[in-house]
Amino acid sequence: MAGQALTAGTGGRKRALFGLLDREGWTWASVKAVIWFVIIVMLLGYLPDRAYYFTVFPTIDLGVLVWSPINFCPPSNRTLPCPAPVGAALPWDPSPTELALPSGGRTDGNAVQLGTKLAYIGGSDGKTATDQTYLADLYSGTFGPWKAGPALPAPRSAAAAAVLNSSVYVAGGNGADGKPTDTVYVAAQDLTTGAVGAFAANDALKLPEARASAVMVAAGDGLILIGGTNGTAVQGTVWKATLDPSGKLQAWVPQAPMPAGQEVSEASGALVGDLVYVYGGRGAQGPVGTVLRGHITGGKVASWDIGGGGTNLPVARTRAAGFSANGALYLIGGADDAGPHQQFYWTVPDAKGDLTGWQHLDATDLPVGLTGGSAVVSGSQAFVIGGTTTDQPAVVGAARTNLAPQPPFFQLGLFGATIPALKVGGEIGQQLGYLSAAGVGTVNFVLLILIGWALAHKDRSRAMLERVVRRLRR
């Protein structure tokens, strides 16, 4: 039986995607489904999300911007590279004369933050220890004029100080005779009024031996006092006072000592997670650049290693101002055998607490060499108060930096870009952001409905389009 002949004018099945796929097949249908899924996610998810952040953020990212060869940063970053390295700070600004310490310069004192107040405790005028303390109100990005605070029971310089549970502890230090002491003075802050009470000796926390120029850090469960000098030699002792269930500090208990031959005084120290870092200072032979890392296990300092698992300081520095912020370690100024220096160094430990190297930028150095200053962090601001320079045995002022340089407001990379946004702050910005997201989402939803109707009625859509084109051509 003869087969049925093909009707004249018929051809093969139509092809799609440059002839690669059958237009009526499942493969082309799956490709179209994926394309429309991405379009729907973009219109109803990504674009409304970007509309919200465009309203409330200073910049927004478009695409995946891993690296950009084109970067523009705001003028507030001044002379920093663009973008600024992780952990970098803005150039230092000296404080105005209105913020000078009231009774002359101070060095080897302790600056701490107590709630909304800044305290500078003890120190010396470059010759003799003092019992004076000063308090200042903290504001956004700065602090107010200094006022007299509660005096210490006796003069102290080169003491160790830390804040724990709204109380400030001042441990050891040199007395009026210039010799190390074993006292611990405590003052509590009233959380309701913000007032700082009188300092008093805490006999239960008396040090096992006199210490000056030690490092003290506040842990979640107590205080740790590290190193220092007894007036005769540098010591490697590590003591910890632990909070009991009632919140009271118990007597000091010896911990794992610093490694033999690595004992230091006049060092900087900070606690990051369950690791305590002690860097720089003065060893038995003079200034050092060693980084010591203590491992806290079960609430005790169990062991120490050298180099922080990576790198020591690039230089030897003693009596530097050191602090920690946002997981980074900082060191400002300090001295070696040649005298005070002005360099500012920082490092950011990795997830294991290892140091991969210390960074330095000329733009963030202090205006002059400084040693014996005390650093304190409030929010994104860091202050270095007092100290000694080549020309001043005791500095009356302070220097300030911002630890949060602004990111680039415009970046252009191969697969994305960062562009400026509106940054409307406060509750108004939040509400406007929600309205923007809702508006964009609504418009895009209407567009999807219109596109769906047009695809379902191709002939009518084509005719309507042709009529619009003809009217436009008239």
Measure the CA–CA gap between 197 and 192, rounded to whole angstroms: 12
pLDDT score of 24? 84
Confidence class for position 15, pLDDT limits 50, 70, 90: confident
Q: For residue 23, is pLDDT > 90?
A: no
Whole-model pTM: value is 0.86
Give residue-wise pLDDT tens across range 65-105: 888 999 999 999 999 999 999 999 999 999 999 999 998 89
Q: Tell me what the mean pLDDT of segment 175-193 comes to.
A: 96
Measure the CA–CA gap between 353 and 431, rounded to whole angstroms: 41
Confidence class for position 1, pLDDT limits 50, 70, 90: very low
Pairing of strands 142-143, 147-148: unpaired
The neighbouring-strand residues paired with 388 are 371
Which backbone phi and psi does 445 adopt, to 5 degrees? -65, -40
Give residue-wise pLDDT tens across range 197-223: 999 999 999 999 999 999 999 999 999
Provide the residue type at 102 as one letter: P
Which single residue is written with the structure tokens 């690791």? 275
In terms of phi and psi (left: phi > 0; alpha: psi -120 to 50; beta: otherwise), the region of 265 is beta
Q: Tell me what the mean pLDDT of segment 151-175 comes to.
A: 98
pLDDT score of 4? 52
CB-neighbour burial class of residue 430 (10 A; exposed 0-12, middle 13-18, buried 19+): middle
Q: Tell me what the mean pLDDT of segment 344-356 comes to.
A: 95
Q: Work out the mean pLDDT of the chain and round it to a whole number.
A: 94
